[in-house]
């Protein structure tokens, strides 16, 4: 079942609307009768998080600056040492 509420009612009764969403009800927030947003339940993580799973797959801010500096110098034919 979908329930449509206006913005004022959503602000006034947010706690009740969240309870309704948790119970499986669809809630649509409308402005002047036109749907603007929909409240949906947040996804819950089903598996445990593994610390360090992304280690080595990303960049630190310093590495990112160095990589972009290297590319900029390579574009001009300058070799970057270090």
For residue 7, what pLDDT is reported?
A: 96
The pLDDT value recorded for residue 21 is 93
Contact, 22 vs 32, CB < 8 A? no
Q: State the pairing for strand pair 34-39/2-6.
A: unpaired
Taking each continuous run of H as one helix and of E as one strand, the counts in the chain are 3, 3
Per-residue pLDDT of the chain (82 residues; tens, 9 = 90+): 789 999 999 999 999 999 999 998 999 999 999 999 999 988 777 788 888 887 777 666 666 666 555 555 555 555 555 5
* Prediction pTM value: 0.53
How does DSSP assign 28-67, residue by residue?
EEEETTEEEEEE-PPPPP-S---TTTTTTSS--HHHHHHH
Domain 2-39 in CATH 3.40.50.720? The answer is no
């Amino acid at each position: 079942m979908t329930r449509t509420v206006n913005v004022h009612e959503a602000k006034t009764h947010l706690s009740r609307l969240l309870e309704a969403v948790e119970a499986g009800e669809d809630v649509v927030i409308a402005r002047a009768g036109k749907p603007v947003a929909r409240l949906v339940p947040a996804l819950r993580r089903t598996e445990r998080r593994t610390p360090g799973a992304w280690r080595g797959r990303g960049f630190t801010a310093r590495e990112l600056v160095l990589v972009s500096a290297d590319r900029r110098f390579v574009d001009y034919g300058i070799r970057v040492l270090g």
